[in-house]
């Protein structure tokens, strides 16, 4: 079965990352902070899923 939560997080991260690359945003912008938060959520979800 597809993990929709995981797919949603990955999709949001990809779209934010693309926007940051296109605009050349600095590290301390809200978009880049959200990407870091998404990375933590993804890691926690994957650890919970395998553990």
**How far apart are the C-alpha atoms of 44 and 28, rounded to whole Å?**
23
* Per-residue pLDDT reduced to its tens digit, 28-44: 999 999 999 999 999 99
Per-residue tokens: 16: 């934010």
Task: Please tell me the distance from the alpha carbon of residue 33 to that of residue 46, in angstroms, as a whole number.
Answer: 20
This prediction's pTM: 0.86
d(C-alpha 10, C-alpha 17), whole Å: 10
Q: How confident is the model over 4-33, as a mean pLDDT?
A: 94
């Amino acid at each position: 079965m597809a993990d929709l939560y995981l797919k949603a997080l990955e999709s949001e991260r990809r779209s934010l990352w693309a926007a940051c690359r296109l605009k050349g945003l600095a590290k301390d912008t809200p978009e880049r902070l959200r990407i870091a938060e998404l990375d933590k959520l993804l890691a926690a979800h994957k650890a919970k899923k395998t553990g």
